Amino acid sequence: MSSAAPRRIVAGDYRWGYVQIGYARQWVRDRMVLYPPGTSVEQRRWMRAWRWLPAIVAAIVLGTAFVCGYVNSALVVAFAVAIAVSVGLVIVVAERTRSIRTASVSVEGWTGPDADLTSLSNIALIRRISARLRDADSDLRDGRIDEVEYEVIWASCHTDMAQILRLTTPDKPVFERPRFRKASTQTPERRHSSALRRQA
């Protein structure tokens, strides 16, 4: 599979989550985040704010620097205020999205020269799950299924994706604490005498 192959994954935001496609030289990254079933419109808006949070924080800081340079005000004080506002914003958005981020399932894969089997299988998983969910979107929009059936499909995809990732992701190795033998305090003469007594 090469990066020049036609993209069959439709990137964008959906009711069930989003798909991102990024490019880095000869590599293409596909990433899918699947929200838990029943995620509300408000929760999706907060998740979108969480995704754009780095850009929002950067805009606040740069905007503050521009305004301070324009009005010749105290730059240090203005930056302190901008940082305080940014930290508060991060705390609020992180708290509002905590439950959704914890329950969401995400997977990504890279295609390009010498792509490994794990990335290729992840790409196939993204294509299969996203196609199934987009078909469900079309069926719901055209009236072929109702909300209950749509939620069932969404839940099934969420469960399947979580189970597949659990099976294909190796567990973290468990390292045992090394056991060291306690150093002997006996002198060579005493060790030799003890060995002679054991032989006797």
pLDDT in tens, 71-109: 665 667 777 778 888 888 889 999 998 989 999 999 998
DSSP state of 9: S
CA distances 67 to 64, 71, 72, 89, 187, Å, are 5, 6, 8, 20, 77
Whether the Cβ atoms of residue 58 and residue 82 lie closer than 8 Å to each other: no
Q: How many Cα neighbours within 13 Å face the side chain of 30?
A: 23
Q: Is 178 helix (H, G, I), strand (E, B) or coil?
A: coil
Query: Which pLDDT score is estimated for 17?
Result: 93
pLDDT at 138 over 50: yes
pLDDT in tens, 141-193: 999 999 999 999 999 999 999 988 887 655 443 333 334 344 445 555 555 56
Question: Domain extents for the chain?
Answer: 12-168
Order across the sheet with 105-111: list the strands: 12-14, 17-24, 27-34, 105-111
